[in-house]
Amino acid sequence: MPVELTALGHRFGSEPWLFRAMDFTFREGAVYALTGPSGSGKSTLLGILAGWIAPTEGSVVTRRDRSATWVFQNPHGVPGRSALDHVALPRLARGAAPDVADEEARHLLDRFALGHVASREFRALSGGEAQRLMLARAIASDPEILLIDEPTAQLDPTTGDTVNAVIGELSRDDTVVIVATHDTRTRDACSAVLDLGRFSPQVEE
């Protein structure tokens, strides 16, 4: 089911509007770049889509029980646990047998070019490896909405390119993928763009 934004607007208290009168539909099977100048409300919109923030006006229409997974710009993992453990855990939580969860996790690690670090502890991963691992773990949880916040913000250009290459491969028929970014290379890796600058009010109340 698509995610439909209708007349969506948000501001905090009496502060200026971040965005307003936003009509847009996110569809499954596409990877959307959420762009706009600093302060335009990219992370705020992700929070609204995740259900963590109530919009000031307008609505977000999707299936009531739709699950959302958020990948933050700073990868967080359990320092002493292996890369394989991080990806297998969501499969175990969904009821998979341990050997099946491990097999599925290895497949995902290979997909994200992380097969060679399967047994490596999280604390020993490079920045790019840790960010790709978080993306692999997110996919392992079978989200219906995948929200990714500034995935290359803390990475050097070369490492960022490895993450961008993975982002371009994230589209799935049953998943809406939305990537908030200021990185033009990340934007170009996506299949569609929503520029929040289009919805920034020209005259503040």
Taking the model in full, what pTM does it have? 0.87
Q: What is the pLDDT of residue 65?
A: 66
Residue 112 phi, psi dihedral angles, 5° rounding = -95, 20
Length of the chain: 205
> How many other CB atoms are there within 10 angstroms of residue 199's CB atom?
22
Tell me which residues of the chain have a pLDDT lower than 70.
64-66, 173, 202-205
Q: What is the pLDDT of residue 67?
A: 78
Q: Please give the CATH topology (third level) of the domain spanning 3-199.
A: Rossmann fold (3.40.50)
Q: What is the pLDDT of residue 205?
A: 44
Q: What is the pLDDT of residue 14?
A: 92
DSSP state of 17: P
In sequence order, what E strands does 80-163 have? 145-149
Report the mean per-residue pLDDT for the chain.
Answer: 90
The one-letter amino acid at 126: S
